[in-house]
Structure 1
């Protein structure tokens, strides 16, 4: 959910099918979410048509996509190196503990809010549904964007891939703040409220607070200080490798041209040898003339 899927290398290498790397890219977990990709598209359409998502949040994915395309073409174009696909895809390699952290984020950020929205529809709690829906809409758009970028592979450079979770997470933190304010500012429904109603209210409050804590920590503790610098470092290292390879190819081609023409020393030696042969022939002719005169 926080973008980790884009940083991960493929689950298995085609040449080494039995090897699986313990990799993850924070926030996305796209490998496990591809199964419900069509459902996410359906959610996006439903949320867009329901009127529960503000216009600014509806326009955010469009503006973000246009910005990413512009950055990919103008600022950080893709670098094409002759290397395995994993060399282009992998940005951050996480441990098993990190994978568990990503699973927790997927549960807190996607599955529980989805259950909360569906439960709000069933209970007729329009306020809870309206508060949580923008977060789910933006998260669904983020997952689909990460899927597209990951499927295109080397068509997008590491900085562009890192910007996808970063931009969406920044926006969703503000959306979650509005969600938390909406549910915590609501009244308790009376001191004599049924236990089920009180449990539902505190479930919504706890879920909003958990999302705010998780994604704020993810943004300020991982994406900005670790993930984004790693993406830039990888990009500039790839650019240096490409420049070095280009210079080496030019040097190789220039060396080949030099070998195709004889060196100056060899030309001079050939001229010297030719002059020597001419002198020998002239000497032999002179001796022949002298012998004829003697006769």
Structure 2
């Protein structure tokens, strides 16, 4: 699974997948592949993400706006990869961060637990307690994160340039913050509503929503924008200057 600090270098991925990605980047001709979806294959994390996308979309718990956002991001990604940030021939794009870094792996694991596994468990448990409001509130965040994971796999295996890859986590992280705000509002005001689950579930939902807001706000404003993006653009444009 990737969600940012994975193939694109900015969010979440499994440790074993990081090592495979790191090895793949060592292949001399890997970065020379142009964006070509025919060479793209679905990995196990991508298949899982696609399953979550289909299930949530078919359940009616995802709004038309979020579905439209997924379609728009797919189209816009290909547009900027062709017009604004094309992958140049003979350009090499090394990984920005070492996937074997222990601190990075810890950060990735925390993000996976808070942003993915926690909401999945919360939604599944909510089906037994009949917490319709909580399930509906948490689903948009999970849908968008699964969409981000799926899109990051596409841009990585498709050989897109670093700025095009960076577009995915930044845009999806920004969009998810709005869904988490709605999730927070629902959790803190649903205690008086019917079918909100047990008191323990209400407390767990609030803690999980707050944890996601804190983590993804830091991820966007403390990592992606001030750290990751400058490194991405420096790599991309310095590579072109060397060719001049």
- Report if TM-score (shorter chain) is over 0.5: yes
Cα distance in 2 for partners of 1:129, 1:13 equals: 38
Give the deviation of 1:37 after TM superposition: 3.1
Change in 2 beyond 3 A, CA 1:239/1:36: closer
Cα distance in 2 for partners of 1:103, 1:238 equals: 32
Aligned residues: CA RMSD: 2.3
Change in 2 beyond 3 A, CA 1:124/1:222: same
Cα distance in 2 for partners of 1:14, 1:105 equals: 24
Aligned to 1:38: 47
Question: Greater helix share, 1 or 2?
Answer: 1
Aligned to 1:212: 213
Kept after mapping to 2: 8 A contact 1:142/1:168:
yes
Aligned to 2:140: 134
Kept after mapping to 2: 8 A contact 1:6/1:146:
yes
- Give structure 1 regions of 4+ aligned residues with deviation exceeding 6 angstroms: none
Aligned to 2:39: none
Q: How does 1:212-251 map to 2 (within 5 A)?
A: 212-243=213-244
Kept after mapping to 2: 8 A contact 1:91/1:158:
no
Q: Determine which of 141, 147, 150 is the counterpart of 1:144.
A: 150
Aligned to 2:190: 186
Cα distance in 2 for partners of 1:218, 1:163 equals: 14
Q: How does 1:7-22 map to 2 (within 5 A)?
A: 7-8=8-9, 10-12=21-23
Q: Determine which of 164, 169, 175 is the counterpart of 1:171.
A: 175
Matched position secondary structure for 1:11: helix
Q: TM-score, normalised by structure 2?
A: 0.81
Cα distance in 2 for partners of 1:185, 1:108 equals: 22
Q: Determine which of 111, 119, 143 is the counterpart of 1:113.
A: 119
Give the deviation of 1:64 after TM superposition: 0.9
Q: Determine which of 93, 118, 131 is the counterpart of 1:125.
A: 131
Cα distance in 1 for partners of 2:78, 2:26 equals: 32
Change in 2 beyond 3 A, CA 1:2/1:151: closer
Q: Which runs of 5+ in 1 are unaligned?
A: 17-33, 191-195, 244-295
Kept after mapping to 2: 8 A contact 1:162/1:231:
yes
Cα distance in 2 for partners of 1:71, 1:13 equals: 25
Aligned to 2:204: 203
Change in 2 beyond 3 A, CA 1:13/1:187: closer
Between 1 and 2, higher relative CO (CA 8 Å, sep ≥ 6) is seen in: 2
**Deviation digits for residues 44-84 of structure 1 (CA, Å, limit 9, x no counterpart):** 112111111111001001111111111111111111226xx
